Amino acid sequence: MLSGIEKIIFTAAVALAAGLAFSEFFRKYRLVSRGQKVARFDRPGKRLWEMLYRVFLQLPVFAQRPVTGFFHAVIFWGFLVFLGVTLNHVAEGFFAGLSLFGHGSINSLLLFAANLFAGLIILAVIYFFFRRYVFRAKSLDRPSYQSLTVLFFIFTLMVSFIFYEAFKGYYPLLVNKGNFLANWVHFHMLPARALIIDSAVTFWIKSLWWLHILIIMAFGVFILYSKHLHLLAGPLNLIFRNLGVKAEIPLLNLEEQEKFGTPQVTDLNRKDLLDLFSCAECGRCDDVCPAFQSGKALSPKILLEKLKNHLLASRSQLRSDPANLKKLLGEVVSEEEVWDCTTCAACMEVCPMLNEHIAKIMGMRQFGVLMESRFPEEFQTLYRGLENQGNPWGINADTRGEWAKDLQIPLISEKGETDILFWVGCAGSFDQHSQKIARSFVKILQRAGVDFAFLGNEEKCCGDPARRSGMEYLFQIQARQNIEVLNRYKFRRIVTTCPHGYHVLKNEYAKMGGSYSVLHHAELLDELLAQGRIRIAGGETGKVTYHDPCYLGRYNHIYDPPRRLLQNLNQRQPLEMAASKKTSFCCGAGGGGMWKEEKSGKRISHCRMEQAEKTGADTIVTACPFCSIMFHDAIAETGREKMKTLDLAQAMEEKLI
């Protein structure tokens, strides 16, 4: 179909497009390679398989937004089909009449699928245009010329394909002077018959061929220069996902490292930098972020965007003067944004690209705290209490065991060996509201005849508040002291009522020489009930909703045991809030939030209470002393005296028989 000169032009166009694309690819590859090395090469089979099924099934895009996800998936699946069509078009251009897929059933099936997807993709383009530029979804903060350009490219590709195939199918009928009326059933020929006269058919066939091919080339180049690079970077990013602990914080070598955290963009690791180019700016992270939804400065999406823009703007300085790059904390990202994060990991849970937002925030926190002593003033009390008394409230360490003085709980130092070691935690030891939870749990264990003991005054803070606020130094001090104590005694399992302590003891102490079998009290209570070691009175007692603590649910995937307990207690499933299980809304206490005043927007705990109220429940049950404290205060602050909050242990103790 193409003349000799046209073939030369086509070859030159391909070379130009490939040159522009590869040039930009290598620029961005060099930027990512400026980051710190990170080992993400273990279990290659698992990494590759999970990438393939996430990409080709498009399952993540359906989360939360099924309609948007469907149209996104349609475009992706359609482009897989059009890959074959486009290759066929190139072959046709160079060799008239050639089809890479023959002229039989395979080619017919491909053309049928392409026609079907072309129509669906045009509908998808219309949907995305109205969503972004007419109705303006909340998560899409401003109009984007890049998105408009991509929509134009996709729409033009589909229309050019439809008309190209129409004219190509019409041409044989024109040459053979067949019965046109009998062939009107071939729907893809209708545009040709409606819009063109016979003598211009060959012109339109060639023109549409060129339009389709040139748009493909332009699209391929544009991807490398725009946010749509996520189409290429995303699958690679999925391969290098963290297969370990969620939102894992690397263990700092405090004795040998010269700097801590991430002062500059080059201190981020390569996966962090790849995240920046993998971000699709879809806004799903903002939809679930408690800080963003409560009106605070932090937007996980904009955080990544700021870092990416800074990285791109620093290209020349990275070559000439990398030592004087802007500091991330305060100069690229505001301190308010960094400290608004509750480390709840909701953003990471819903991100289709599995970007790791919290790692970047924690790096900036560690730099601020350890290198420049820049942190919220309220943390002075937190750090002083941990350093002097081993608890964040700074209460006399000698009084840690007084909450249990009338319960006759044996100390493991006296007993020597036990089946269950009860890790009480700082809240259960010192906060009056949380002490009631610990007491209820102890009474259940005693009723069940469980062999257990506790550490008493030997227990220190697990270190979670220090670590999540950036004070790695105090975390390691607390952790090493606790591990030294724990390793002196014999026990089969540790149980705790605090998801933060549960997460640290189970997942983080292992890297410091403390590997233990750890249970959350919801798991142990579920186990005891299933074994018949405790019995509860039946009958409905009210409308109950359950709040999934972030560090119990998203971090450790414990969703069912608490619900089974409540179903047994109340003879029916608890009422579910709109944001529950994987998308549960944080109470606001994580990441040091328990000890920091919320100075902007609405209190996160108040937002969660509103969500609980919408279920019609009169009781919000949780399985975390931090959550319980936050909700107890929120009920008083918002005048919701008709509602009450209970821990699972308290709810069970009320119905023990």
Helices 625-638 and 604-613: angle between axes, nearest 10 degrees: 80
Q: Same structural domain for residues 63 and 130?
A: yes
Q: Same structural domain for residues 487 and 517?
A: yes
Least confident span in 63-72, 201-210, 301-310, 323-332: 201-210
Q: Same structural domain for residues 75 and 123?
A: yes
Least confident span in 166-175, 466-475, 571-580: 166-175
Please say if the pLDDT value at position 190 is more than 60: no
Please say if the pLDDT value at position 597 is more than 50: yes
Is 258 inside any structural domain? no
Encoded tokens for 424: 């009480």
Q: Same structural domain for residues 149 and 293?
A: no
Q: Same structural domain for residues 354 and 395?
A: no
Please say if the pLDDT value at position 453 is more than 70: yes
Phi and psi for 256 in degrees, rounded to 5?
Answer: -105, -25
DSSP-assigned states of every residue in 526-572: HHHHHTTSS-B--S--S-EEE---TTTTTTT---HHHHHHHHHHHSS
324 is in which domain, residue-wise? 265-372
* CATH at residue 56: 1.20.950
At 292, which helix (H) or strand (E)? helix 290-293
Helices (H), 95-225: 105-129, 145-176, 190-195, 201-225
Q: How confident is the model at residue 138 (pLDDT cuts 50, 70, 90)?
A: low
Instruction: Give 514-525 as a 3 state SS string.
Output: CCCCEEEHHHHH
> pTM to 2 decimals?
0.90
Is 256 inside any structural domain? no
Q: Cα dihedral sign for 207, 209, 210, 216?
A: positive
pLDDT in tens, 494-519: 999 999 999 999 999 999 999 999 99
Task: Give the mean model confidence (pLDDT) for residues 189-206.
Answer: 60
Q: DSSP state, 419? A: E
d(CA 154, CA 82): 11
Task: Give the mean model confidence (pLDDT) for residues 459-470.
Answer: 97
Least confident span in 206-210, 473-477, 526-530, 552-556: 206-210
DSSP-assigned states of every residue in 459-527: ----SHHHHHTT-HHHHHHHHHHHHHHHTTSEEEEEEES-HHHHHIIIIIGGGGT----EEEHHHHHHH
Least confident span in 93-97, 202-206, 647-651: 93-97
Encoded amino acid at 13, one letter: A
Domains contained in the chain, number: 3
Percent of the chain at pLDDT exceeding 70? 93
DSSP-assigned states of every residue in 347-371: HHHH-TT---HHHHHHHHHHIIIII
pLDDT in tens, 17-50: 999 999 999 999 999 999 999 999 999 999 999 9
Is 536 inside any structural domain? yes
Is 260 inside any structural domain? no
* CATH at residue 314: 1.10.1060
d(CA 17, CA 23): 10
Q: Same structural domain for residues 368 and 388?
A: no
Q: Same structural domain for residues 324 and 412?
A: no
Comparing C-alpha atoms, which of 571, 509, 512, 506 is closest to residue 536? 571
- Chosen domain end from 372, 404, 423: 372
pLDDT in tens, 403-440: 999 999 999 999 989 999 999 999 999 999 999 999 99
Q: Same structural domain for residues 480 and 505?
A: yes
d(CA 388, CA 460): 11
- Chosen domain end from 346, 372, 398: 372
Encoded amino acid at 360, one letter: K
d(CA 382, CA 282): 37
Q: Same structural domain for residues 579 and 431?
A: yes
Is 225 inside any structural domain? yes
Is 150 inside any structural domain? yes
Task: Give the mean model confidence (pLDDT) for residues 528-536.
Answer: 94
Model pLDDT, residue 185 = 38
Model pLDDT, residue 187 = 45
Model pLDDT, residue 360 = 98
Phi and psi for 64 in degrees, rounded to 5?
Answer: 75, -35
Report the DSSP beta bridge partners of residue 496: 423, 520
Is 361 inside any structural domain? yes
Comparing C-alpha atoms, which of 546, 542, 616 is closest to residue 574? 546
Model pLDDT, residue 147 = 86
Q: Cα dihedral sign for 235, 241, 243, 246?
A: negative
Q: Same structural domain for residues 309 and 341?
A: yes
Q: Same structural domain for residues 535 and 500?
A: yes
Is 24 inside any structural domain? yes
Q: How confident is the model at residue 199 (pLDDT cuts 50, 70, 90)?
A: low
Q: How confident is the model at residue 143 (pLDDT cuts 50, 70, 90)?
A: low
Q: How confident is the model at residue 269 (pLDDT cuts 50, 70, 90)?
A: very high
- Chosen domain end from 307, 341, 372: 372
CB 608 within 8 A of CB 586: yes
Q: Same structural domain for residues 94 and 164?
A: yes
pLDDT in tens, 332-363: 999 999 999 999 999 999 999 999 999 999 99
Please say if the pLDDT value at position 551 is more than 60: yes
